[in-house]
């Protein structure tokens, strides 16, 4: 019942990117929220079974890209529909200030560094300090609910 209840919670979709040994690794995520403005920080909840999780540790850079409604293909690719090594071929990516890919046309891009990692159940909570942010001119986020896009 808990899972069914949470599927009714609409959430914006983001692509979270970390630095891997063979290049960037990214996943689609909906469990991201702002934490503080001073210092600017966000919470990112990552399942421990994901390929991204092993790369998350304090001082590691992190890129968070809040998707626009037109970027469903990017969400699907990073949600597991595309092999990991091909995901960054979908969408237009540039290098952010922290050396990680930033998605062009996203609602917002955050260049971050992880300050704290907390383990809880099947997930870890990363507290990431935002080093720089950019936003698009138009507000039109990609929203996910109950297994589909709104």
Model confidence, pTM: 0.94
| Mean pLDDT per 10-residue section of the chain, whose length is 150 residues | 93 97 95 97 96 95 98 96 92 94 97 97 97 96 94
> Pairing relation of β-strands 23-29 and 14-20?
antiparallel
77 vs 29: CA distance, rounded Å: 12
Q: How high is the pLDDT of residue 97? A: 87
Q: Mark residue 32 as left, alpha or beta (left: phi above 0; alpha: psi -120 to 50; beta: remaining).
A: beta
Query: 116: Cβ–Cβ under 8 A, 6 or more apart, which residues?
Result: 58, 126, 127
Long-range interactions of 38-42: CB distance < 8 A, separation 24+: 39/129, 39/130, 40/129, 40/130, 40/133, 41/115, 41/127, 41/128, 41/129, 41/130, 42/110, 42/112, 42/127, 42/128, 42/130
Half-sphere exposure of 134 (CA within 13 A, CB side): 13
| pLDDT for position 5 | 95
Cβ contact 67:14 at 8 Å: yes
> What pLDDT score was predicted for residue 81?
81
Please give the pLDDT value at position 4: 93
């Amino acid at each position: 019942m808990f899972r069914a209840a949470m599927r009714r919670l609409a959430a914006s979709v983001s692509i979270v990117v970390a630095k891997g040994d063979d290049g960037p690794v990214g996943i689609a995520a909906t469990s991201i929220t702002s934490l503080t403005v001073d210092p600017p920080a966000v919470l990112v909840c990552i399942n421990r079974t994901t390929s991204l999780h092993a790369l998350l540790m304090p001082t590691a850079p992190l890129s968070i890209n809040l998707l626009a409604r037109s970027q469903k293909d990017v969400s699907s690719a990073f949600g597991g529909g595309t092999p990991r090594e091909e995901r960054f071929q979908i969408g237009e990516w540039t290098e952010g200030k922290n050396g990680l890919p930033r998605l062009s046309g996203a609602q917002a891009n955050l260049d971050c560094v992880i300050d704290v990692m907390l383990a809880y159940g099947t997930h870890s909570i990363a507290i990431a300090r935002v080093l720089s942010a950019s936003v698009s001119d138009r507000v039109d986020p990609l929203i996910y609910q109950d297994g589909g896009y709104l």
